[in-house]
Amino acid sequence: MTQATDYIAQVAADLAKRDPNQPEFQEAVSNFLGTITPVFEKHPEYIKANVLGRLTEPERAISFQVPWQDDEGNLRINRGFRVQFNSAIGPYKGGLRFHPSVNLSIIKFLGFEQIFKNSLTGLPIGGGKGGSDFTSKGKSDAEIMRFCQSFMIELQRHIGLDIDVPAGDIGVGGREIGYLYGMYKRLRGAERGILTGKGLSFGGSLARTEATGYGLLYYTQAMLKENDKDITGKRIVISGAGNVAIYATEKAEQMGAKVLTVSDSNGYVYDENGIDVAVLKDVKEVRRARLTEYAKAVPSAQYHEGSVWDADLKYDIALPCATQNEINGDQAAKFKAAGVFAIAEGANMPSNPEAIASYKANGILYGPAKAANAGGVAVSALEMGQDSRRMADSFDTVDGQLKEIMENLFANSVAAAKEYGVAGDYLAGSNIAGFVKVADAMTAQGW
């Protein structure tokens, strides 16, 4: 045991004792700690500053009550969260998730990942995340608005232009951001930069809606290029049918690949002709309907219940864009035989630890979430810049910046992996590149 391995083992043991009932948070930290030893071998000063102890405890974790009235007049109560994880390199930045599964463990795992993701973008933003166990599914627009208004009545006291700037995530799209911003404005005035993912008529950025999905494909293309491969003509399986999945599908098809599937929490559609993104947008964005409606609208599509990762398909590239731990070790073990040579994560932590081990064992190129899906937060930071300049950049300008950011962050991860003796390991490279910048900022600022 070296001083570095001792230290990392101690941090892991302390965390297991302190947060034993937070499995997603433990998983995210453990994935990270498993790759970071070379940095501590080289930088014992980070041990002295107990950087990991400070990074595994949020600077602030807020939990609050969200009362709202449904259309029948009943008073309903949900739980709201905002975890302000680390502000070493800038104001806290990270999305809000509205989903029944949301709890402190999930928000902390997302906030922890966000620290390094935001650092990797090269932009001055710290890490945070928030949300609620509320779901918009099955609610009227008026109910969603009342919920968002009540959520913001509490959240507004914790956020600020140079303090914390939330955005969307699962269950929080343009509609919810609009209602949240409307309430913020009534309470505190028109500070456009307070939220990102806003509508284009009130301070939103062109290409923010597309950013995570497009960025995922720019990252995938860079990873393939590094390995002398190309995306044109490749067969791709995508999971999810939300914001990330839709725009990943669109960009993949623009790049000349064929997307065979999209999915939701009930099942998936498979279309050998390639997913028709115009129909997908109509079903999910306009009609807010289920994927069964896509299958009704497209004769060549088949709808199947269950996970797309259990489907028996031949393909080249996997792009999980739904949710955490959607791919387990058994499902990942089938990738090689299916023909998969690369996976890049649009969702946060979609691969469980056994799945990640399987990619490594089978030589599958692996682009981890904190790098591959950083395009969303990157364009959110560009939106903050546009808001403070009171200017709106063109789609092509923002899309060009996004592409450059994704290519740079991939290159930086490759370089960090090489520098620390783990060449070709993009998970370790992303963790290291993201971490070193934050650790330097933390040690420079003292405690």
Give the sheet arrangement for strand 235-238, strand by strand. Answer: 301-305, 267-271, 258-263, 235-238, 317-319, 342-344, 365-367
Smallest separation (angstroms) from ligand NDP to the CB of 290: 7
Is residue 379 within 8 A of residue 243, CB to CB? The reply is no
Q: Which is nearer to ligand NDP, 8 or 375 (CB)?
A: 375
Smallest separation (angstroms) from ligand NDP to the CB of 49: 30
Q: Which amino acid is at 421?
A: G
Q: Which is nearer to ligand NDP, 15 or 327 (CB)?
A: 327
3-state SS string for 294-335: HHHHCCCEEEEECCHHHCCCCCCEEECCCCCCCECHHHHHCH
Q: Which is nearer to ligand NDP, 11 or 207 (CB)?
A: 207
DSSP 227-273: TT---TT-EEEE---SHHHHHHHHHHHHTT-EEEEEE-SSEEEEETT
Smallest separation (angstroms) from ligand NDP to the CB of 289: 10
Q: For residue 336, count other CB atoms closer than 10 A to its CB.
A: 15
Q: Give me the residues that bind ligand NDP (CB under 6 A), please.
A: 168-171, 173, 212, 240-245, 264-266, 321-323, 326, 346-348, 373, 376
**Of 129, 234, 284, 370, which one is the catalytic site residue?**
129
Tokens of 430: 């992303």
At residue 80, the 3 state secondary structure works out as strand
End-to-end CA separation in angstroms for the chain: 28
Tokens of 280: 């997908």
C-alpha span between 73 and 143 (Å, rounded): 10
Q: Which is nearer to ligand NDP, 171 or 178 (CB)?
A: 171
At residue 131, the 3 state secondary structure works out as strand
Smallest separation (angstroms) from ligand NDP to the CB of 262: 8
Verify whether residue 129 is a known catalytic residue. yes
C-alpha span between 23 and 340 (Å, rounded): 29
Cβ-proximal residue to ligand NDP, closest one: 242
Smallest separation (angstroms) from ligand NDP to the CB of 380: 8
Q: Which is nearer to ligand NDP, 254 or 266 (CB)?
A: 266
Tokens of 309: 């990762």
Smallest separation (angstroms) from ligand NDP to the CB of 152: 19
Tokens of 322: 């739904």
Q: Which is nearer to ligand NDP, 80 or 171 (CB)?
A: 171
Q: Which is nearer to ligand NDP, 399 or 420 (CB)?
A: 399
Tokens of 198: 């806003």
C-alpha span between 285 and 175 (Å, rounded): 11
Q: For residue 213, count other CB atoms closer than 10 A to its CB.
A: 27
Smallest separation (angstroms) from ligand NDP to the CB of 270: 15
Give the sheet arrangement for strand 126-132, strand by strand. Answer: 60-69, 75-86, 126-132, 92-98, 164-167
C-alpha span between 319 and 238 (Å, rounded): 5
Active site residues: 129
